[in-house]
Amino acid sequence: MHDIMIALRDVSKWYGDFQVLRNIDLQIGKGQVVVVCGPSGSGKSTLCRTINRLESIDKGTIEIAGQPLPCEGKALRDLRANVGMVFQSFNLFSHLTIIENVTLAPRKLRRSSKEEAHRHALQLLESVGIASQADKYPAQLSGGQQQRAAIARALAMRPQVILFDEPTSALDPEMVGEVLEVMTRLAEEGMTMLVVTHEMGFARRVADRILFMDEGEIVEDRNPNDFFNDPATDRARAFLSRIL
């Protein structure tokens, strides 16, 4: 199948004696939105971070768009530029304004002209609804605005996939909605997304598939309706009863 965007085969990872990922097999098609949920410590974030090699793996293979994930050097950097990432704690560069945060990578890595990068950045900030904050510094924005800026920063590299690592977990409750709204629109536009989140409403509405992880393995991989209405395992049932 040529339209597989992300493919993990038999991926395992250990921290010392502790196995965080157990024989993960996973394929994500182009344009799919996959939500990963599970109790804390189940390996969701680690899984997310192996896909652009912010975490290395000890066993197995990872392929992005049919190419094996490079281990180092320019090839790895090029791949990372193609895979956007959005973090729990936003991680905007605090010494740069919002617009500078969004233009930095395109200007330095894609050699975009200043005008072109600026124009594209403003367009992206407009689409996430914070164009008026372009010249402020991250600390002057609310959490929700910062996370939307971080999404714009990831989009500025025109990635083929975006990884979301608990994008709303650090937000005040009233700001969760504005970030999920942006993510929902991205999904509708056909972006391939892997989203680690506890937002089950979002999962139900937007996800094509739900992965339920526990103790480093994928316990269930199902469509949202089946997962929420009729979880197949006791572990998933117990998890859902705790968070819903």
Count CB atoms within 10 A of the CB of residue 60.
Answer: 16
Residue type, 133: Q
CB-CB contact of 128 with 182 (8 Å): yes
Tokens 């999404």 — which residue? 151
137: its two tokens: 């510094």
CB nearer to other proteins: give 81 or 122.
81
How many CA atoms are closer than 13 Å to the CA of 235, on its beta-carbon side?
Answer: 14
Task: Please tell me whether residue 23 binds other proteins under the rule CB under 8 A.
Answer: no
CB-CB contact of 12 with 58 (8 Å): yes
Q: Which stretch binds other proteins (CB under 8 A): 16-24, 38-46, 63-71, 84-92?
A: 84-92
CB nearer to other proteins: give 76 or 240.
76
Of the residues 61, 67, 89, 169, which one makes contact with other proteins according to CB under 8 A = 89
Beta strand pairing call for 192-196 and 161-165 = parallel
CB nearer to other proteins: give 75 or 238.
75
Residue type, 199: E
Task: Please tell me whether residue 139 binds other proteins under the rule CB under 8 A.
Answer: yes
Task: Please tell me whether residue 132 binds other proteins under the rule CB under 8 A.
Answer: no
Task: Please tell me whether residue 170 binds other proteins under the rule CB under 8 A.
Answer: no
CB-CB contact of 198 with 166 (8 Å): yes
Task: Please tell me whether residue 164 binds other proteins under the rule CB under 8 A.
Answer: no
Which DSSP string do the residues of 96-121 spell out, in sequence order?
Answer: S-HHHHHHHHHHHHS---HHHHHHHH
CB nearer to other proteins: give 64 or 85.
85
Element (H, E) at 8: strand 4-15
Task: Please tell me whether residue 153 binds other proteins under the rule CB under 8 A.
Answer: yes
CB-CB contact of 12 with 64 (8 Å): no
**Number of amino acids touching other proteins (CB under 8 A):** 30
Task: Please tell me whether residue 65 binds other proteins under the rule CB under 8 A.
Answer: no
CB nearer to other proteins: give 28 or 85.
85
Of the residues 47, 85, 128, 149, which one makes contact with other proteins according to CB under 8 A = 85
Site of interaction with other proteins (CB under 8 A)? 52, 54, 77-78, 80-85, 87, 89-95, 104-105, 108-109, 136-137, 139-140, 150, 153-154, 157
